[in-house]
Amino acid sequence: MTVHRLCRRIIPLVSVICLFLCGIVSYAEEPTYSLKIKFITESGPATDAPFEVYYAMTPDGTLAEDFAERGIDVGSLTDAENVSRLASTLASYVESGVGEPVASGSSNALGETDFEELTAGIYLIVGSVTPIGDLLYTPKPALVRVPDSSSDVVTVDVKYDVEQVEKKISRTVKKVWDDGDSKERPQSVEIQLFKDGELFETVVLSEDNGWTYTWDELSASSDWSVIEKSVPENYTVSVTLDGETFVVLNKGKTEIVSPSPSPSVSPSVSPSSSPSPDTPTPTTDSGISGESSKPPKLPQTGQLWYPVPILLVLGLVLFMTGFISDRLSDDDEKK
């Protein structure tokens, strides 16, 4: 009974204390707000565009701890031009590693990125370059006051810069030998890649790299061409472009002639040229070529079989003739 009485007195007391504490906590908790970033471009909503939000200033316009004491000129926060300049300045500091984002996220299919539970203040919005089609959209950094005067959910339409994506292409060079596996074939050759007529890079082709090399990430707006730096002695060279591949054909000469004084220049390729998927036809090459005494010929795809029966038959005939002749002379001597 005593316990029962005690409980009846204590439970209401504990309840009152709990309610009191809850009231204190809820009073102490700061109100929070939401921020919606809209990244809508002329090409449509930018999806998967990453954004970071930094607490830049207190509601009264004082720079946050991360940015204070850096000599940043805050200026007037009612002057749009000044606010834009300030946002760029703060974004530069962020780029250099100053400050930590209070929130980050990526835009959804509608081009919207939502941030919740932001305390009152002025926030810096920083986005990243987002490609859409052949265009690159760079969001401009922005400062936004949360909450604004009209709503607890602040909506910002991001401004952006647009630039054309520079198209990249690949070019491959392949060395083809037409010399019947000559022992005179060099171990390696040097190939020079030219960009708009100026030497861009020199590479070495050999058995080790399968006599081929690929350059990636080349500007499509430039003209690319290759030459063989020095044509191997007793070989002629021709260079053709087959789709994305430069085929450098070295033909062995049947007669010893002095090597070409200067390497031949490949056809250059402009971005508008349509690639042909044809594979190289080295023997039919009509590109710039050195002196050659042989007309173009289909690949020699045969083994040397025809001498075998000739040698065997002739050998057998000679052997038998010799054998019979020996026997006959032996018989004559015995007689």
Partner 1 sequence: MALGLLMIGAGIGIAAHNLYEDSLAASSSADVLSQFNEQRNELIESVKPSATPSLPAGVTVEEEQEEEAFDPNAPLPTITVDGYDYIGTVVIPPLEIELPVADTWDYVRLKISPCLYKGSPYRNDLIICAHNYMTHFRNIKNLQPGDDVIFTDAAGNEFRYKVEKVEILDPYDIEKMETSGYDLTLFTCTLGGKSRVTVRCRRADE
Contact between 204 and partner 1 by CB under 8 A: the answer reads: no
Give the range of 78-86, 227-235, 255-263, 313-321 binding partner 1 by CB under 8 A.
313-321
CA distances (Å), origin 259, targets 169, 170, 203, 237, 290: 33, 31, 21, 10, 8
**Identity of the residue, 43 or 170, whose beta carbon is nearer to partner 1 in the bound complex:** 170
CA distances (Å), origin 149, targets 140, 188, 211: 23, 74, 69
**Identity of the residue, 71 or 277, whose beta carbon is nearer to partner 1 in the bound complex:** 277
**Least distance (Å) from partner 1 to the CB of residue 205?**
12
Can you tell me the distance from the alpha carbon of 48 to that of 105, in angstroms, rounded to the nearest whole number? 9
Contact between 275 and partner 1 by CB under 8 A: the answer reads: yes
3-state SS record for 40-72: EECCEECCCCEEEEEEEECCCCCECCCCCCCCC
* Residues 229-248, interacting with partner 1 (CB under 8 A): 243-244, 247
Can you tell me the distance from the alpha carbon of 38 to that of 156, in angstroms, rounded to the nearest whole number? 6
Give the range of 54-62, 121-129, 261-269, 305-313 binding partner 1 by CB under 8 A.
305-313
> Using CB under 8 A as the criterion, what x/- string covers residues 9-38 for binding partner 1?
------------------------------
Can you tell me the distance from the alpha carbon of 17 to that of 224, in angstroms, rounded to the nearest whole number? 82
Cβ atoms of residues 165 and 131 within 8 Å: yes
Give the range of 37-45, 114-122, 160-168, 278-286 binding partner 1 by CB under 8 A.
278-286
Identified binder of partner 1 from the candidate list 49, 142, 176, 189, rule CB under 8 A: 176
Closest CA to 172 of 95, 241, 115: 241
Contact between 296 and partner 1 by CB under 8 A: the answer reads: yes
Contact between 329 and partner 1 by CB under 8 A: the answer reads: no
Cβ atoms of residues 146 and 120 within 8 Å: yes
**Identity of the residue, 160 or 235, whose beta carbon is nearer to partner 1 in the bound complex:** 235
Burial label for 34, CB within 10 Å (0-12, 13-18, 19+), is middle
* Residues 181-200, interacting with partner 1 (CB under 8 A): 181
Q: Under rule CB under 8 A, how many of the chain's residues touch partner 1?
A: 53
| Interacting residues with partner 1 (CB under 8 A) | 174, 176-181, 209-211, 243-244, 247, 274-284, 295-312, 314-323, 326
